[in-house]
Amino acid sequence: MLMTDDQVLRVADLIDRPGASRRLDVLPAAPDDLQLPLAEVTGPLRLRGVVESVVDGLLVRATLTAQLRVSCARCLVALTERVEADVVELFTAAADPDADPEPGYTYADGVLDLDALLRDALVPAVPLRSLCSEECPGLCPQCGTNRNDAACDCSDTITDSRWAALEGLRLPD
């Protein structure tokens, strides 16, 4: 993957200087292998906050904003959601670049790689249930018509949803 300048943070000036800090405002690309549950990043990510040198390493305190494409939970139409996540993560010096990666975030060669942090912050930020509108009538459970667009002929058949699941259940003869 081609690293843009916004994909990594150059932090050589902050390492081993506890108390030093720098404002952070970058527009990183979404990590290549990002897999979000039922959502897709459609706009630039933005990470704004501060990188602070502390005794144990470098502390990133920032707000991540993203634009996601999700689906309405009722009618499945595509929606755009802006999400925001607060990030507070400590990066420590990578002990040995040839060793197995340690748990947690590390920096090496004066550079912080933001991919893991972006991934970990975005996954829980995806809304669990988005609606195109609070009143969205959803899809007809019988014929699948989107009731936002059209009425269908099934509408007078009232099926008690408590029993709907049982209708598909047939005991073997």
CB contact at 8 A, 97 and 113: no
Give dist(CA 25, CA 168) in Å, integer. Answer: 53
36 binds Zn ion (CB under 5 A): no
Interface residue with Zn ion among 75, 83, 114, 126 (CB under 5 A) is 75
- The DSSP symbol for 130 reads B
Number of residues that bind Zn ion (CB under 5 A): 11
Q: 168 to each of 72, 75, 140, 157, 164, how far by Cα in Å? A: 25, 22, 17, 17, 7
Quote the least distance from Cβ 129 to Zn ion, whole Å.
11
79 binds Zn ion (CB under 5 A): no
136 binds Zn ion (CB under 5 A): yes
Q: Which stretch binds Zn ion (CB under 5 A): 31-39, 50-58, 106-114, 153-161?
A: 153-161
Nearer residue to Zn ion within complex by CB, 20 or 136? 136
Interface residue with Zn ion among 38, 108, 143, 151 (CB under 5 A) is 143
- Of 65, 70, 82, 59, which is closest to residue 121 (Cα–Cα)? 65
27 binds Zn ion (CB under 5 A): no
Q: What single letter denotes the amino acid at residue 39?
A: A
142 binds Zn ion (CB under 5 A): yes
- Of 119, 92, 120, which is closest to residue 108 (Cα–Cα)? 92
108 binds Zn ion (CB under 5 A): no
Contacting residues toward Zn ion, per CB under 5 A: 72, 74-75, 132, 136, 140, 142-143, 145, 152, 154
